Every structure is written in C-alpha cells, then in structure tokens.
Amino acid sequence: MPSEYGKKLKDIRHAEGLTQPEFSALTGISLGAIRNYETGQSGVGLNVIDKIVKHPKLNKYTMWLMSDKTAPNAGQIQPAFSLSGSEVSEEKKDQRKSFHTKENDC
C-alpha cells in the first residue's frame, strides 16, 4: 500500500496529465523511484518532496502536499482542482452536468 506521500505524488502526476516517465523527466526523480513510491515499495524522502515543491509547474501543490490544506486565493490547490491538469473532482463534474442540463436546456 502506498504511503500518504506516494499517493499524493500519484495524484499530482495524474492531475497534471503526466505518465510516470514524463513525471520522472520533469522532476528529475528516477522512474524506478516513482514506481516504488506510488506502489508503496519505498517511502518518499524529503529530497523528493523538495524537488516537487520547488518545481515551477508543481509548487502550486506545496501546501496540500505538506498539510492537506489549500489556499486557492494564494495559488495553493489540491490536484483535483488543478486548472491545468486533467483530473476533475466529482463535485466539479456534477456542477458542469447541472449547468448543461438546467440553465441551458441541454
């Protein structure tokens, strides 16, 4: 079972629409290490977290990664609410569905 940080790394990767090899290339974390973190074979060390929080494309997840908190007004989000990523929360899907069916008679 993946650690909390291993799951969070996977959530971030999915939200950004990245494969494991793409995430590896982006962060400089080895592909094998990413696989091990995501499957729970290895724990995520501080040096890995440091690479994520200092990367310009990923630093928007710093607060969530470290504390499970967000501050959207400060640009600190969780993966499900990423503006550039592909993952959308169920709540957002429901909001879109509601918009299309109620307000626009679709």
pLDDT, tens digit, for every residue of 30-46?
Answer: 999 999 999 999 999 99
CA distance to 5, 24, 39, 66, 99, per residue, from 1 (Å):
11, 21, 6, 20, 38
Predicted TM-score (pTM) above 0.75: no
CATH class of 4-103: mainly alpha
Q: Each residue of 61-86: pLDDT tens digit?
A: 999 999 999 999 999 999 985 555 44
